[in-house]
Amino acid sequence: RKEVEQDPGPFNVPEGATVAFNCTYSNSASQSFFWYRQDCRKEPKLLMSVYSSGNEDGRFTAQLNRASQYISLLIRDSKLSDSATYLCVVGSNFGNEKLTFGTGTRLTIIP
Amino acid sequence: NAGVTQTPKFQVLKTGQSMTLQCAQDMNHNSMYWYRQDPGMGLRLIYYSASEGTTDKGEVPNGYNVSRLNKREFSLRLESAAPSQTSVYFCASSPRQVNGYTFGSGTRLTVV
């Protein structure tokens, strides 16, 4: 089983719609969780951290379910500029500075 | 504020040639990383350096060496390039795991 698993997509969603991605992780001791965004032929960029209480940043909401070991990202009122690949990222242990990246979910917003 | 700077941006090598990919960060981060990204494989960790003076192997270290020259710089060396090393290479840095990583813009390497 992969440490971090995501549905690769692609997700083709009309502009203005709401879209949700899920990601599962295998290590129950994981402590740090993130969503990154990667545009075509660009580097990954941090979109948001994911906290146990959940967090929201504008149109983006991230949730963490430790019991089921999954992380979600919700995008409301999607924009054309949201088209990108979204990477789920998990860090296992404090003191071990490595993060594990999912293979990403490709999202295309359709006008 | 430059963040993480990688050089070169593009490189074509012949099989058997050697080269060094350079990475420097100006954010005073302790940890630095080298990843490669291939279609369908996601980002895979090659080597990392949790602090100045230390380096450790990641998931795919074979065929690579690294040097943490100082706190700012972390280089990746291919001693004898192979076509299987054709990839996009990203350097990243982080103050601590909980802060996530900042990536450089990548090096696109083709080995023919």
Write the DSSP string, A29-63. T--EEEEEEE-TTS-EEEEEE--TT-EEETTEEEE
Is the CB of residue A22 less than 8 Å away from at least one CB of chain B? no
Q: Chain A partners of B96 at a C-beta cutoff of 8 Å? A: 97
- The answer to whether A101 contacts B58, with C-beta atoms less than 8 Å apart, is no
Query: B4, B33, B43, B99: which to substitute to probe chain A, counting the most A Cβ within 10 Å?
Result: B43
Asked whether the predicted pLDDT for residue B1 surpasses 70, the reply is: no
The answer to whether A2 faces chain B, any CB pair under 8 Å, is no
Residues B26-84 pLDDT 10s: 999 999 999 999 988 889 999 999 888 899 999 999 999 999 989 999 999 999 999 99
Instruction: Name the percent of chain A in helix, strand, coil, to the closest 5.
Output: 5, 55, 45
pLDDT digits (tens, 9 = 90+) for A6-64: 988 899 999 999 999 999 999 988 888 999 999 999 999 999 999 888 899 999 999 99
Helix, strand, coil content of chain B in percent (nearest 5): 5, 55, 40
Q: What is the mean pLDDT of residues A88-107?
A: 84
| Under 8 Å between Cβ of B58 and B47 | yes
CB distance A97–B106 less than 8 Å? no
* pLDDT given at position A97: 67
Q: What angle do CA A91, A93, A94 make, to 5 degrees?
A: 105
- Write out residues 73-92 of A within 8 Å (CB-CB) of B: 87, 89, 91
